[in-house]
Homo-oligomer: A and B are copies of this chain.
Amino acid sequence: MEDLIEGAVAKVVKGMQNKGGLKQVYLVGCGGSYGAFFPAKVFIETESKSLGCHLYSSNEFLHMPSAGVNENAIVIACSHTGNTPETVEVARTCKRKGISIIGITYNKESELAQACDSVLTYTFGDDRDVEYEKPLVELKLAAEILRCTEGYERYTEFMEGCHKIHGIVQKSKKSVEGRALKFAKEYAKDTFIVTLASGAAWGAAYMESICIFMEMQWIASPAIHTGEFFHGPFEVIEKDTPYILLVSAGKTRQLDERAKSFLEKYGSRGEILDALELGLADIDASVIDYFNHSLFFNTLSVFNKKLAEERHHPLSVRRYMYKVPY
């Protein structure tokens, strides 16, 4: 996989050498594929001295084209099935215009894969190796882009983090089994749950809200950035308002801890997942931020399964998706 990422990035960067070099990175996807881009987005925005980084929902990318999508840009488009119509169209549009396009999909035979210059696939399912699942492949791609352009001093620590995350996640998932069952029983009848996070982990909160609670459990759920919480949304919190707070390890931890203090005082029905308690400190402090997303996303899957069982509402049930025209 590392070879494929290296090859894909080298091809793009080399191709731009005589045209002013790489300037803009566009991350494009929908739903879960949009949310999974947060580690890569936060990585580039934090580490790069000169690269612009833009995260788009596919249909907005198509309809509101950016003038920055030009010979100095790379577009990274992701779709799990590889057949999401608007994401496939993103790739085809780029290809037609000669824009560098890398596809990320689970299905290497898909339309997305066929439409891209390079394709990276990832592991998926209960037995997956977290190091090679979607957000990590995208994160590695971001790190490789930085390494090949400006250079990345923490590359060794970063790759060590990548090698460690699977083991950390497995332990974390095991450690929350009891809590997850309690959570499921407590929240089975709620119709509204707030999720909160910051940094790369905000992507995990967003995915929990839109893909799990709203899509798979039909529970209303705003995802709130802990930096924004005190500038409006915290007024919605009552003693019995249910919430899930993801307390990251790393630079934005203080934002999450501020929300934690408030929620513990004014709320009483929350689930607080703390990345340090879940073992993330095993990763070097200089790169730890980017791994919060994978830790939380995977650990939350234990809670989601129990919640679905307790509510007798399987995660696979839909009323509209793939069932009615839209």
16 cross-chain CB contacts under 8 A: A34-B228, A34-B231, A46-B64, A49-B68, A49-B70, A51-B52, A53-B54, A57-B225, A210-B224, A214-B232, A214-B236, A218-B235, A220-B220, A234-B321, A235-B318, A261-B326
A19 to chain B, nearest CB (A): 12
Digit string of A216-231 for contact with B (CB within 8 Å is 1, else 0)?
Answer: 1011111111011011
Task: Decide: B221 and A254 in contact? CB cutoff 8 A.
Answer: no
Determine the chain B residues whose CB is within 8 A of the CB of A277 once the complex forms. Answer: none
Determine the chain B residues whose CB is within 8 A of the CB of A255 once the complex forms. Answer: 59-60, 63
Task: Decide: B321 and A252 in contact? CB cutoff 8 A.
Answer: no
A105 to chain B, nearest CB (A): 15
Contacts beyond the supplied A214-B233, A235-B318: 11 A-B pairs with Cβ under 8 Å: A24-B52, A34-B228, A45-B68, A47-B67, A52-B53, A57-B225, A57-B228, A60-B227, A192-B220, A215-B235, A218-B236
Query: How many copies of the shown chain assemble into the complex?
Result: 2
How far, in whole Å, are A173 and B291 apart by their CA atoms in the complex?
47
Task: Decide: B45 and A320 in contact? CB cutoff 8 A.
Answer: no
- Residue from the list B49, B59, B198 in contact with A60, Cβ < 8 A: B198
Task: Decide: B46 and A67 in contact? CB cutoff 8 A.
Answer: yes
A239 to chain B, nearest CB (A): 11
Within 8 A of B (CB), among A55-111: 57-60, 63-68, 70, 72, 84, 86
Task: Decide: A50 and B68 in contact? CB cutoff 8 A.
Answer: yes
Determine the chain B residues whose CB is within 8 A of the CB of A221 once the complex forms. Answer: 222
Q: Does A135 contact B (CB under 8 A)?
A: no
Interface residues of A (CB under 8 A from B): 23-24, 30-34, 42, 45-54, 57-60, 63-68, 70, 72, 84, 86, 191-192, 194, 198-199, 209-211, 214-216, 218-225, 227-228, 230-238, 251-252, 254-255, 258, 261-262, 266, 289, 318-321, 326
Determine the chain B residues whose CB is within 8 A of the CB of A321 once the complex forms. Answer: 230, 234-235
How far, in whole Å, are A228 and B222 apart by their CA atoms in the complex?
14
